[in-house]
Structure 1
Amino acid sequence: MTSGAFEYWQPGSEERQLRIFVSHRYGKDQALYDEVIRALESNGFSVQDMSLSADQIMAGPRGGDLPKLKIQGEIAARIYTSDALIAPSRPAVTRSQWVSWEVQLAAIGYGLPILFVNEKEQQRRTRLVSEVADLGLPHAVCARSTQAIVERLISLIEGRPTWGMRQEETEKTIKFRGPPAEIRNEVLKRFPFHPRLPPAPYEPRARRGFWSFLSGDQGA
């Protein structure tokens, strides 16, 4: 059972923040996706960035001593609780073991829509894109520009998110298959679901004093 995962938002109650995982979100891609998030927010989408940016470098194969399986569990939980995955489709990057694994997990494991971003003047689609297309999995391909990414992502998601992700099964005859509960709960504690709009600040009405009552000031 998740603890605190829906502290700020309940499935179906209202629109929530759009959760996006960008594969390989660092280096030359960092500035582009910062701009994409700003553009999405200017179009009325509040965004939770679930990806690993330059200031979120994890230990393990990406820079430390954590076991690879622990790193994969963290990434799996981030992807599972996202609404879409954005991945670069330039050949040099899609040959990366990590990018390929993230795309495969999102597409095959979780049925997450994938947006592939081409390089400028890229003519051929990569093997990874072809394989996803051949299986009829939800995906789209766009040019490497803020406007193209935002437009295709919005159409790929098919609406503003009001749904949650299944965390458990209450029926004994059904088994839940997803990221390990311990790791998933850790991710959801750090990245809980939030409504798109923050709650309005509470402004209590001023209490009328005794003299205002005598003077006939009844207030608003």
Structure 2
Amino acid sequence: MMEEKVSKNKSKKEFKQTKELMKIARDNGWTQTEIAEKCRTQQSIVSAWFKGTKKATENQLRPLLDEFGHQLRRNTFRVYQNFTEENKLEYFKIEGRIIFNYTIYNIKTIKINGKSIDKYNKNQRIIVHFQGNHQFIFIRQTRKNISEEEILMESHPNYVDALWFSEISCITKIDELIKMATHCTEDLNKKFEIKFLLIEALLNNGFHVDNIKVYPASW
């Protein structure tokens, strides 16, 4: 029953990059008539997709996603880095739009002119990419220590991402994604905050989250 519900929700979910996908198909020589035939719909509906007045579902666009999805993903990516077991740097190009970005801070009290001031230092970051076909990329980043950070800042004064190192995981289940995100900190308040904000981000991006009580509006 749950699988049927998820499948039904997926078939109705709007594909947010419909207009961008139409442009890619057009640039590759596809006409509106050809798109309508492949997607098994009317040319007038395809015209609305091109104009951006309507969005298709992922199921409707499956023939185009199979053909041009790689070009669409190529438009949104970020580069990450990490150390290998041999202590060498390796780099990753992660495609897919970012649906969640959260920074964990630690507080350090310093004294300036005899006054105690709390300084908020970025300690960890949680980033989630969605790549389509039920796949998420979960990235847990840690910041370099002060001495190494100062060296990197001299070399890359404007390149903040050079200061972060990343652990990367592929996840296909939303409950596992939420669980992994909340395990990034031992702070109970931050656990609640991360879980709430991640669920909110998932819902805002059209994903189904279990055990959410919905109060639908009447239009």
What TM-score does the superposition give when structure 1 sets the normalisation length?
0.22
Which structure shows the higher strand fraction?
2
